[in-house]
Amino acid sequence: MSNWSALQNRSFLESNARARAVGLVDEGSFTEFVGPFDRRTSPHLEVLGEAVEFDDGIVTGIGKIGKTPVFMISQEGRFIGGAVGEVGGAKMVGALKAARAFAEKIAKDFPKAKEEEKPIVVISFETGGVRLHEANAGLLAHAEVMDQFQRCRGIVPVVSVIGSKVGCFGGMGFVAAAADVVVMSEFGRLGLTGPEVIEQEMGKEEFDSADRGLVFRTTGGRHKYIMGDCNFLVDDTIAAFRKQLAELGKTPRAKFAEFRRIGSPELVEKQLKRVALAAEMQPKDARDVWAKAGNADPAALGNAPLDDFRKAVKRLTV
């Protein structure tokens, strides 16, 4: 792996799970949990005669950004599309439990600790969802991670980071959206059903997965930012994501409730209003919604350099 300094300018999109985990925290601070040498491989894949990975396609550990302890979870899309099974799910749950226990200990032993000295959880998503080879075990993993999110609420913030090649789809799309904060690049993609699956089930006329422009303006970071599904839109470098995480580490923990998309009656009501708006508009393209948000020239906005986009864009307020 390249040294830490070289990682900072690397494309987040092109980086593997371990490079992201190491590069997002301070140099030399990352300590891995249940790493490759522990040989925690999926028992289900071996029975099926499938290749295994010694870290099961997910990197977990702890590091720091400045004074902020960071519990890191980073998925690897090159191993079965980042799909989650029993071992990967257990590693995610274990990291979340450790973060919550550490945050509770800090609160008890150091009640005057500064905000930046309290831990956060960062999950770098790159996944298509459930690992079909493991069926119920994969679904259970999703449920257990969501349960830990609820247990972490108000104790330790959970930040979703999305900017890798596979994107974040399937059940993990739900999981990412349920975090306290979502940070994306314009190349990040977030959704429930992936473009290829929509095309396979509904036909190319419904959704052409080969149309990259269509795919990105429907599931990509710019669209999610306009819709409010993404809180922060950053450049495609590890350093840019790291900088945003550093700012979040200094943010008062009570403020994280303002970043959430779900989790309260008020937010449910907001989502229902958007469903009603979609039924009323019957949009044919994401650009129709961009225009509804007040963007006069949606096509130009989508093609603008990212800095210009961030300065000019109007976000949906319904």
What value does the mean pLDDT of the chain take?
A: 94
Residue pair 82/126 in contact by the 8 Å Cβ criterion: yes
In tens, the pLDDT along 257-295 reads 999 998 889 999 999 999 999 999 999 999 999 999 999
Question: Lowest mean pLDDT: which of 14-28, 29-43, 83-97, 301-315?
Answer: 29-43
300 pLDDT band, cuts 50/70/90, is very high
pTM of the model: 0.95
The pLDDT value recorded for residue 206 is 87
Residue pair 64/29 in contact by the 8 Å Cβ criterion: yes
The pLDDT value recorded for residue 167 is 96
**CATH 3.40.830.10 at 4-190+229-262, yes or no:** no
17 pLDDT band, cuts 50/70/90, is very high
1 pLDDT band, cuts 50/70/90, is low
Residue 315 pLDDT > 70: yes
2 pLDDT band, cuts 50/70/90, is low
Q: Which residue has better confidence, 25 or 262?
A: 25
The pLDDT value recorded for residue 50 is 87
97 pLDDT band, cuts 50/70/90, is very high
The pLDDT value recorded for residue 263 is 87
Residue extents of the structural domains in the chain:
4-190+229-262
In tens, the pLDDT along 132-189 reads 888 888 899 999 999 999 999 999 999 999 999 999 999 999 999 999 999 999 999 9
In tens, the pLDDT along 55-72 reads 999 999 999 999 999 999
44 pLDDT band, cuts 50/70/90, is confident
